[in-house]
Structure 1
Amino acid sequence: MTLLKWPRRHPQTHGEEPQLLQLFNSLNDVVLLLDKQHQVQFINQYWQTITGIPVEETVGRLFSDFLHPEEIPSWSQLLNKIIPSQHETVWFRLISASGELRWCEMRIQSVNKDQLYPLSATLCDITPQVRNEEVRHASHRSLQSLVDRLPAMLYRSRNNASWSMEYVSEGCELITGYSAESMLNQSQVSLGSIIHPDDATHVWEEVQQSLETFSPFDIHYRLTRADGTEVSVQDKGRGLYSKSGMVLGVEGILLLTNK
């Protein structure tokens, strides 16, 4: 198959080819063609925009030459999955001319419905979105680390007699003596089961009254820790509601007190 050349090498040839190449070069996505050896036969100018690698230095090379080494196994698996008349979509990292990594989404398929090669593909640079997601994850990890270091127990529970936990911070162990994992979804122990029996009714009634009036609560009561000792805590929280006003749960913070 004759390689498609970059238009500056063969301008104004093959009839409408220059106009077609001009169209490809106006796109803000990479368009490429791969032969049976997975070498680049054609690629448009946007490739150079996102990678800094000239088109002339790309045509004729294996596409895998531009992938991050850790992506090579996934690339090989992708090529083995492709069948005529179907497309595959994958994310991977490219190495730019400066050494910077660029995240791309590739959609690849056979040009012809009845044979596998050549392969056509489009690449969309998703690096900004991936970076924003990484920033959000880093911020979440930082916030979670801060929460877990607090000498307090942050929680979200269902509104039942057991106060079954849907979320609990690592400060749970400091307050109750139980690990966070042991209290989640009442797998081993529930908050309701360690509230002092003489305080349990009072706690339930106070919370229910606050939920009915859509107001926060601030309650003091006693807990029995894992080692059997009793501690006094302050529980400050509020209800979680649906748009219709139905109670979905309770969230709050438990603090040790000197009472």
Structure 2
Amino acid sequence: MKKLMAHLDQGYEKMASLFGRVNAQLNQDFEYLPLALAKLDVDGAIQELNKGWEELMGYPYRNGIYRSHAGFFHPEDRPRWQEALSQLRSEPKGSWRHLQLRGLMPSGERRWLEVKLRRNPQGFMVSLDDATHQVHQQQQLAARHRSLRNLVDGLPMMIYRCRNNRHWTMEYVSEGAVHLTGFRPEQLVDSQEVTFDSLIFPDDQEAVWSAVQIGLNQRLPFQVNYRLICANGQLKTVHERGSGIYANNGEVLGIEGMIMDVKQSL
């Protein structure tokens, strides 16, 4: 019996030693991983920081430990952070949220951060990454898109992108549709209320279809004139120019072009 107990004691000692080494390795990994990491309690207060966090945020360990992590984010972004914490508290361990928040640096600089917040048994683990460059690129791209959209919407014509089907199902329609047809873009996109083929005068529908298909088959731009039935019932002769959008294998993915009142094109 004594031998058995001694054997069990040795087993427990080995197990404890193994767990100790594993925990030491985990702590070392946490400290030196090339990521900005912080362990938080259930209230979001910082319990541990690694060197990556200090380097990214610019605060020494003593200025971060035991403080609410919310204090390191821009005041306008803190409600989103608190909402994520609140949601994760009631979710299973391992659940996570992905956020983009503005960090407050000691210098007063505001830096965009990619924030990944994960629920764990003790509270939360948060990882941070500098996303300032990516966010600025996204903002510049969005600004260019707005400028282009404003330019397109100001043109005296309807710019469109549609599918190559009998309904000419619209995927994009510019604001010029209102002046040209009397319908709002959202009424035409995805045939929500009106299919574009129903606006083409019945006697002209087949000619329009043929002209477009010839251009697509030859992979050339097409032009066609036809009569359009406006929202008020008025007939309007329009001029359309367009071309196909093709996949690498030659498949027609869609059509893009412009439609304008013939009177305005003169």
1:249 paired residue number:
254
Alpha-carbon distance between aligned partners in 2 of 1:165 and 1:84, rounded to the nearest angstrom: 43
5+ residue gaps in structure 2? Answer: 1-25
SS at match of 1:219: strand
1:7-26 matches, within 5 Å, as none
* Post-superposition CA distance 1:46-68 (Å, at most 9, x none): 33433333333222322222122
Q: TM-score, normalised by structure 2?
A: 0.74
Letter in 2 for 1:65: G
Aligned length: 236
Assess if the C-alpha contact under 8 Å between 1:96 and 1:102 holds in 2.
no
Q: 1:167 to 1:69 in 2, by over 3 A?
A: same
Alpha-carbon distance between aligned partners in 2 of 1:182 and 1:256, rounded to the nearest angstrom: 20
* Post-superposition CA distance 1:185-224 (Å, at most 9, x none): 2233233222233432222211111111111101222222
Assess if the C-alpha contact under 8 Å between 2:36 and 2:54 holds in 1.
no
Assess if the C-alpha contact under 8 Å between 1:223 and 1:233 holds in 2.
yes
Which residue among 216, 225, 245 is the counterpart of 2:230? 225
Which residue among 195, 201, 204 is the counterpart of 1:199? 204
Assess if the C-alpha contact under 8 Å between 1:223 and 1:231 holds in 2.
yes
Alpha-carbon distance between aligned partners in 1 of 2:51 and 2:78, rounded to the nearest angstrom: 24
2:167 paired residue number:
162
Question: In angstroms, what is the RMSD of aligned CA positions?
Answer: 3.0
Q: 1:123 to 1:230 in 2, by over 3 A?
A: same
- Is 2:101 the counterpart of 1:95? no
Letter in 2 for 1:94: G
Q: 1:223 to 1:74 in 2, by over 3 A?
A: closer
- Is 2:66 the counterpart of 1:56? no
Give 1:152 deviation, angstroms.
0.9
1:72 paired residue number:
78
5+ residue gaps in structure 1? Answer: 1-19, 111-115
* Post-superposition CA distance 1:50-94 (Å, at most 9, x none): 333333322232222212234434434444425785252432332
Aligned-residue sequence identity (percent) comes to: 34
* Post-superposition CA distance 1:108-127 (Å, at most 9, x none): 343xxxxx326543322222
Assess if the C-alpha contact under 8 Å between 1:103 and 1:130 holds in 2.
no
